[in-house]
Amino acid sequence: MRYFLILLILCTTATAFARVKVKDPMVITDAATFTSSAKPDMMESGMTVQYKSPDYAAVSSAMEKISGVVKLNKDICTYSGYRISPEYTYKDGQQLNDGYMGYLDFSCSFTAVPAYEKVVNGVFDIASKDEAYLLTSKSVQWTVSRKVLDTLRSQMKLDAIRSVLRTAKEYSRASGLYCSAKDIKLEYADTVPVMREYAAVRSSKAQAIAVSEPDRQDQSVSLTVKYNYVCR
């Protein structure tokens, strides 16, 4: 009889627990934006060089000369090579060959203007001897290097997550539940300076120039954090 009563009590207790309805967790969706700024630590600029000729070999030679200048300054300048494309005109419905056009784009990152000035004047010196060159230069802009930007973003990420976790504790105290942060998503946005392109200059007008240093303004960086709080 004693065993029967114990078994009956256990069965009754299990049935009672089965009837208890577990409440759905409370989900709070929220977002926050964090902003900071970084002082630019380097300058950027670049140039596009074009050359047209009826002779493919002449275009290739012209591009190689400019390529040589860029390679001599590989410590601050980079490029992914040049391309040469055929040009066409149309007459009486027929496609006619109109020579070849060479294109070369290069970009430079530097901390002192004279270093870039040397590159520009090296290109202009070559172009001034051949009127087939067409040069398009970009404005010089201060910018934040990738190393500095990555360091700043990492710190902002830590600060944002700490803030989200602190708020989770505040929700826990206010609701009497245990709240945890879930589905945290990070979205960065930077204020990147826009390089202006100056009008293309024919080589006959190319000459040595003095590159001017632009104004140095802090670059804004923002981080938007989207997340859910799940409280049980």
pLDDT digits (tens, 9 = 90+) for 195-211: 565 555 565 455 555 67
Cα–Cα distance, 209 to 50 (Å, whole number): 19
Q: What confidence category does residue 73 fall into, taking pLDDT thresholds of 50, 70 and 90?
A: very high
Higher pLDDT, 192 or 142: 142
Instruction: Give the β-pairing of 179-190 and 82-91.
Output: unpaired
Cα–Cα distance, 171 to 48 (Å, whole number): 56
pLDDT at 199: 52
Query: For the chain, first and last CA: distance in Å?
Result: 42
Q: pLDDT tens, 106-144?
A: 999 999 999 999 999 999 999 999 999 999 988 899 999
Helix, strand, coil shares of the chain, percent, nearest 5, are: 35, 40, 25
Span of 49-53, 128-132, 216-220 with lowest mean pLDDT: 216-220
Closest among 215, 206, 190 to 47, alpha carbons compared: 206
Domain spans of the chain? 42-143+194-208
Question: With pLDDT > 70 as the criterion, what percentage of the chain qualifies?
Answer: 82
Phi/psi at 27 (nearest 5 deg)?
Answer: -110, 125
Cα–Cα distance, 22 to 60 (Å, whole number): 76
CATH 3.30.70 fits 42-143+194-208, yes or no: yes
Cα–Cα distance, 36 to 219 (Å, whole number): 9
Cα–Cα distance, 72 to 79 (Å, whole number): 12
Residue 179: CB atoms within 10 A of its CB come to 22
pTM of the predicted structure, to 2 decimals: 0.69
Residue 23: CB atoms within 10 A of its CB come to 8
